[in-house]
Amino acid sequence: MALRATLLGLAMLATGAAAPRAAPSRPAITGISHLAVYTSDQAVSAHFYTVDLGARRGADPEDAAGARYYFGPTQFVEVLPLPAGSGADRLAHIAWQTSDVVAMRAYLLAHGVTPVSAVESGDGSRWITTHDPEGNEVQFVQTTTPAAAVPGAISDHIIHAGYLVHNRAAEDRFYRDVLGFRPYWYGAMKPGKVDWVSQQVPDGNDWLEYMLVGPGSTTPLDHVDHNELGVLDHVSLGVTNMEATVTRLIAGDHLSPRHDGPQMGRDGKWQANLYDPDGTRIELMEFQPVTKPCCSAFTADSPTH
């Protein structure tokens, strides 16, 4: 009897049956890769991103009819043709940089995030696609061959992106509980409300901004039309000196027809807003706050450049 027990124990050790398989660990999520938006006119959008903002146009390996507008070696705005029958929304997807896209796919599946696409590749990068709890498309990108720097760009760092969120708790379960994003700041236009919730990536200083609508915010659901969506869904370009940046835009006649600011943001940072030809907001923001923010203190370091 003792011999049988010993042999059984040895067999279990040999086959690994005695030890459960460890869950895969999360690879690093280091920052924003890109925001993808739709346009009704590629030529007009190309002028805005390349001439007005100084980005470099590149081919789009995801969609031959689209284009990438690079602000730095690994960050860009992807502009895609507007699908037929589209409504007011111009947001296509948001994408985050990861150190290992294969490991990220395994990690997501192990944590019940489904479906997750197979790994795709092109133009020096590999990526996977999934969706957040509200159905927004989310990509994770591993850049294997960075592009060249873009000396003429108005900014070389996309510091955050934001989009409409109805359910903060549901998004937190994805971004904070599964992905490890960290609280950064929250604020609102009026006391007793919460309009913006910023969550930093776990391994860098870039962040996602929930643009909250509905109960608890100052934006009623029935106010969310094409114009409002363009404000909510946005990408933010970090600048060192707002006065110098806006002066450059004015001198070159590069302000978009619709624009606002410079102004002091509720987070204590100087900001100004441009809008691409389809109404998506391109926010310019200084890296560091210059005055005390409203509503809450910063709970993580701000980017410095």
Distance CA 239, CA 1 (A): 75
Residue 232 predicted with pLDDT over 70? yes
Neighbouring C-beta atoms of residue 244, cutoff 10 Å: 9
Q: What is the pLDDT of residue 124?
A: 87
How many structural domains compose the chain?
1
Q: What is the pLDDT of residues 257-266, one digit of tens each?
A: 999 999 999 9
pTM: 0.91
* Average pLDDT score, the chain: 93
Residue 21 DSSP one-character state: P
pLDDT grade for 20, boundaries at 50, 70 and 90? low
Helices within the chain (DSSP H only): 2-15, 42-46, 101-110, 168-172, 226-232, 242-251
Q: How far apart are CA 188 and CA 205, in angstroms?
A: 22
Q: Is residue 18 part of a domain?
A: no
Among the residue ranges 1-10, 98-107, 119-128, 143-152, the one predicted with the least confidence is 1-10
pLDDT of residue 11: 38
pLDDT tops 50 at residue 7: no
Q: Is residue 166 part of a domain?
A: yes
Residue 12 inside a domain? The answer is no
**Percent of the chain surpassing pLDDT 70:** 93
Within a domain: 261:
yes
Is residue 22 one of the residues assigned to a domain?
A: no
Say if residue 4's pLDDT is above 80: no
Give the domain extent around 206.
29-286
Burial code of 125-153, b = ≥16 C-beta within 10 A, e = fewer?
Answer: bbbbbbebbeebebbbbbbeeebeebeeb
**Structure confidence at residue 115 (pLDDT):** 97
CA distance linking residue 291 with residue 125, whole number of Å: 39
- Tell me whether residue 293 is in a domain: no
Per-residue pLDDT at 5 exceeds 70: no
State mean pLDDT over 189-204: 97
Residue 2 within any structural domain of the chain: no
DSSP state of 159: E
- SS3 (DSSP) at 180: coil
Give the pLDDT of residue 6: 40
Decide if 86 is inside a domain.
yes
Here the CATH number for the domain that contains residue 116 is: 3.10.180.10
Label residue 9 by pLDDT band (50, 70, 90). very low
Q: Name the more confident of 138 and 24.
A: 138
